[in-house]
Structure 1
């Protein structure tokens, strides 16, 4: 569901969304690989520090929409053809991480958060 809301994330951003009693991040690192096997996510690229950047496929976005409350704004799909040069944004990862931490702290529900769609560059 987090990928449906925030476009893309690594295990680091998804970690705050797991149950607080879970001591290892192994399941969070394994979950995207399992979802990739069934065609719900794809690895967009591997960051320079070795982390995998994940995003939803069309099938994954469709399934996530059924798990979220009606009316939840979903992020647009990341077209595979855009390539690595447009795939990575530290700001986008920060937004996902902060929303996860807020939700974990009981400040709002994860589905209540939305992200901006685009930045316009000033010339």
Structure 2
């Protein structure tokens, strides 16, 4: 088996979508992706979003021990790939760093909130992560 590709998932706070993607990647495709996450305005010292953690626990992913960290140029240079999860974050990537953007359908725009919102985001992220794993393997 080849070495896993390192992927950095990024959102604004590193308490929701990016840490969800990190946890899901570790759970579903850990052999092909070495996942980490960061935020463009990380909430240092904060815990992951409770509903994000709950939605992930339902599929066997655990992010309860996660501590948000701030996105830096060094972090982006240290990984094979950076993925912006959602379009709220703004990344000024260093020269030569390509950032893939995943536009995530925001359930709250359709009147869906709470745990159901997080389940829908989770399910979309699972599909995208599995697709990313397949693309990186080929």
TM-score w.r.t. length of structure 2:
0.37
Higher strand proportion, which one?
2
The structure, 1 or 2, with the larger RCO (C-alpha pairs under 8 Å, 6+ apart) is 1
